[in-house]
Amino acid sequence: MHRTGEPGGCAAVTSARSAPATLSSAVAGLAVVLASTALAGVLSGGRWLGFVVVTVAVVVAAGAVLRSLRVPLPLVAAGQLAALGCLVTAVFSRSGVLAVLPGPDALGELRTVLSGAVQQIRVGVAPVAETTELLCLVVIALGLVAVLVDTLAVSAAAPAAAGLALLCVVAVPASLADELLPWWTFALGALGFALLLTVDGQRRHLVWGEDGGPAGPAGAAPGAAAVSVVAVVLSLLLGGAATGIGTDGRLPGTGGGGGGLSGIGVNPFTSLRGQLDSGAVVDLFRVRGLPERAYLRALTLSRFEDGRGWMLGSLDGAAAADGPVALPPAVGEPPPGPVVEVRIEPINYVDSWLPAFGVPLEFADVGPDWRYDSGALTAFSGQRRRAEPYTVLAVLPQPDPGQLRAAGGARGPAHIEYLDTGGVDPRVAELAARVTAGTGSPFDATVALQRFFTDPRNGFRYELQTTPGSSGDALVDFLFERRSGYCEQYASAMAIMLRTVGIPARVAVGFTPGNRTRDSRVITTEDAHAWVEAFFPGAGWLPFDPTPLVDGRGVVPPYVAAADPAPPVALPPAATEQPPVPTPEAATGPSAAAGPGGGGTGGGSGGPGIALTWLTVVTLTALAALGPATVREGRRRRRLRLVDAGGPDAATAAWEEVLAESADRGVDVVVTETVRGAARRLLREHALDDEGRAGLGSLVSALERSWYGRGEGSDPALPAALGAVRASLARCAPQARRTRLLPRSVLPDRARFPRRGGPARRDGPA
């Protein structure tokens, strides 16, 4: 081998460097592709992976060509970005200069495509369909990541820093998906990073001279260190701001304020799991000209996926500017009912949906930024905005029950979308058939299903607090075990049951009529509601509300009130009255797949080295996933033992466990709070029931006696008090699976656990 000081040494070293650099670039691209498999948790189908492979290949090839031409390193990244821009223009635009160069027209097309992608992200629930708009966004995002990883791993010789970019690729889908990502996505991402480090080590070995001279350009090590520090800081800042960690499955923009606007919008999807936000009451709309009580619809949800709930279908409509707007094609003419002109004044409402009553005929004063989908009866915009006061001319459907019975059902091609049951459990269809047995028409069947939920004799209750069931299927749990929930669960259940008996149905999201003032109605956040819309020929989509509201906020349309009463349906005892008997079907839920024997790896022919690598990656991934939960369980057991044993540290251990339970649910106690002040906040934040309140009061009293009393003994009622608080937290503030696997209380922040001598002044009862 030539030394650098011998004839031909420079050429030899250059050759030695160029070949490993090309290999490092290829492996960096492979690492991006492997990490991108995490997108399987938020994108349906597999076409997107092909786009990712092509995109990464273009970036890697561009870098290899530019490095072979000895282009300065900063210009290599610029050339890769240019190649990425040409690829995006060629694939997602029709106006590129010479088909690949991004001219002004092409940039305008791409801007429209990306706006559509943002809209789909805002209203979608993972996994979303791989539309052209989302594919464009994936190509751009993963292309930029590929350029960044290539620059860090090859040009800057800092592959460890490149791992942070790869981690972000995995972290974004992990934060947005309701369920844990498939284990193999983590394994593939870890494998890509391991290969990147391995190839980098080989490259460094090859470019070192036989005398152990330094590899790479002078000062590469300090430069790599600086790049690593900058990458860490940027990853923490950008990751925390952009990925939306902790959104519990919602895509960015689905809730809260946006764009600097303060206001509250309707969550654009409904789910069979979850809990309504019970925060402060905020006025949303002031309505004038509404002659009777009616629901204010914001949007309709037509797509059902078993285990995930109801989601928005595709929207495509004309501009909802001043002037008449076409009715749904399936209706043909306005449904029977009075025509009203309603003035709606948004107060604190900011969202991409423009609510309307009944079947809109005409919008006025809405501006050019709103569009209207006549099939979905939904007015929408490409981004969240605060609408100006607007007027809606609409029909409030009031068909005659006899006409509805004579109309029959609708089963044509136009309604196939509204009959899809998404693989619902057969027990749900059997129950729907029992409830509707003996009804003479689809209308009577619909009324029977609504009254099945609202009739007190059937045991359904309206509650904001829900607990998980045992079957692994939220719909089955709701119908056969708990029989308690809120409007989203009732609407979801009735709509899917209607579909099982052949009646087109969907879920509507919006607001109840609100409260009447002297000359208007005021609709607040407390009026947010979900109900069912069923389709009948000649009448169109009619609202039915299965939620057993007892506060008078619901609306009973005249055609429902005039229908004949339905007898109660005999059901097996609910789970709250008789514990459910485990069945083989219960083992098919999501948790069963993660249990022993739920998955495995088959034998391979790659040799013991590859098998050992895979085993190591999987083991490290499992330890990383289960480590925090294991630490949390160990701390819990230690504290419970101290509480059961009594002694001077029992009360402190009980208090620390309560604060840890609260921290796991996202509510920390800061060091400046008193014990009783902290207790009051825990009661408020977690909405503890009477048993929890009593237990927390006893625990605080025992803690004060332990810290400031003369006795050293422990309160014998302390274990029971702690048990009551923990049980109340489990009932009133159940933890999501993600927070159980990654508990926040294991973070090294001891400020949330004030000990003896901390601020614990007596300041009144808890």
Mean pLDDT, to the nearest integer, of 676-696?
87
The predicted-structure confidence for 534-585, as pLDDT tens digits, reads as follows: 998 888 889 999 998 877 778 888 888 887 655 555 555 544 443 333 333 3
Q: How confident is the model at residue 96 (pLDDT cuts 50, 70, 90)?
A: confident
Q: Which of 42-77 are b and which e, b meaning 16 or more Cβ less than 10 Å from the residue's Cβ? A: bbeeeebbebbbebbebbbebbbebbeeeeeeeebb
pLDDT computed for residue 747 by the predictor: 64
pLDDT computed for residue 38 by the predictor: 82
Q: What is the C-alpha to C-alpha distance for residues 119 and 353, in angstroms, rounded to an integer?
A: 11
Domain positions in the chain:
10-210+220-242, 269-577, 610-752
Tell me: cis bond preceding 127? Omega within 30 of 0 counts.
yes
pLDDT computed for residue 648 by the predictor: 83
Residue among 41, 234, 90 nearest 151 (CA): 234
Q: Could you tell me the two tokens for 361?
A: 């005929």
The rounded percent of the chain whose pLDDT value lies above 70 is 67
For domain 610-752, say whether CATH 1.20.120 is its number. yes
Q: Could you tell me the two tokens for 678?
A: 């902290």
Residue among 743, 750, 733 nearest 629 (CA): 743
Q: What is the C-alpha to C-alpha distance for residues 423 and 425, in angstroms, rounded to an integer?
A: 7
Q: Is the pLDDT of residue 23 over 50?
A: yes
- Angle (CA) 426 430 432, round 5°: 115
pLDDT computed for residue 113 by the predictor: 83
pLDDT computed for residue 601 by the predictor: 33
- Of how many residues is the chain composed? 766
Indicate the SS3 state at residue 156. Answer: coil
Q: Is the pLDDT of residue 607 over 80?
A: no
Q: What is the C-alpha to C-alpha distance for residues 5 and 473, in angstroms, rounded to an integer?
A: 72
Q: Which residues contact 685 (CB under 8 A, 6 or more apart)?
A: 662, 667
Judge contact between 465 and 687, C-beta under 8 A.
yes
pLDDT computed for residue 471 by the predictor: 58
C-alpha distances in Å from residue 195, one per residue of 64, 165, 200, 322:
19, 15, 8, 60
Give the residue with greater pLDDT, 313 vs 581.
313
- Please provide the distance, in angstroms rounded to a whole number, between the alpha carbons at the two ends of the chain: 79
DSSP count for the chain of H helices, then E strands = 21, 20
Mean pLDDT, to the nearest integer, of 639-661?
88
Q: Is the pLDDT of residue 533 over 90?
A: yes
Torsion sign, CA atoms 283, 284, 290, 296:
negative
Stated as kind and residue range, the H or E segment containing 634 is: helix 607-645
Q: Could you tell me the two tokens for 220?
A: 């590469």
pLDDT winner (highest mean) among 8-22, 199-213, 249-263, 313-327: 313-327
Tell me: cis bond preceding 291? Omega within 30 of 0 counts.
no
Q: Is the pLDDT of residue 519 over 90?
A: no
- Please give the biggest Cα pair distance in the chain: 102
Q: Is the pLDDT of residue 219 over 70?
A: no
Q: What is the C-alpha to C-alpha distance for residues 580 and 472, in angstroms, rounded to an integer?
A: 13
Give the residue with greater pLDDT, 658 vs 741.
658
Q: Which residues contact 61 (CB under 8 A, 6 or more apart)?
A: 83
Where do the DSSP E strands lie in 596-673?
none
Q: What is the C-alpha to C-alpha distance for residues 332 and 646, in angstroms, rounded to an integer?
A: 76
pLDDT computed for residue 343 by the predictor: 95
Q: How confident is the model at residue 593 (pLDDT cuts 50, 70, 90)?
A: very low
The predicted-structure confidence for 428-466, as pLDDT tens digits, reads as follows: 999 999 999 988 889 999 999 999 998 888 888 887 665
Stated as kind and residue range, the H or E segment containing 197 is: helix 183-207
What's CA 626's distance to the chain center, in Å? Answer: 22
Q: Is the pLDDT of residue 487 over 60?
A: yes
pLDDT winner (highest mean) among 277-281, 322-326, 534-538, 665-669: 534-538
Q: What is the C-alpha to C-alpha distance for residues 178 and 273, in angstroms, rounded to an integer?
A: 10
- Angle (CA) 162 227 26, round 5°: 35
Residue among 28, 94, 35, 31 nearest 62 (CA): 28
Indicate the SS3 state at residue 252. Answer: coil
Instruction: Point out the least confidently predicted range of 104-108, 305-309, 589-593.
Output: 589-593
Instruction: Point out the least confidently predicted range of 253-262, 636-645, 668-677, 700-709.
Output: 253-262
Q: Could you tell me the two tokens for 748?
A: 């090294």
Q: What is the C-alpha to C-alpha distance for residues 153 and 228, in angstroms, rounded to an integer?
A: 10
Q: Is the pTM of this model over 0.75?
A: no
Q: What is the C-alpha to C-alpha distance for residues 546 and 532, in angstroms, rounded to an integer?
A: 8
pLDDT computed for residue 410 by the predictor: 65
In angstroms and rounded to an integer, the radius of gyration of the C-alpha atoms of the chain is: 31
C-alpha distances in Å from residue 524, one per residue of 266, 344, 392, 507, 694:
11, 13, 19, 21, 33
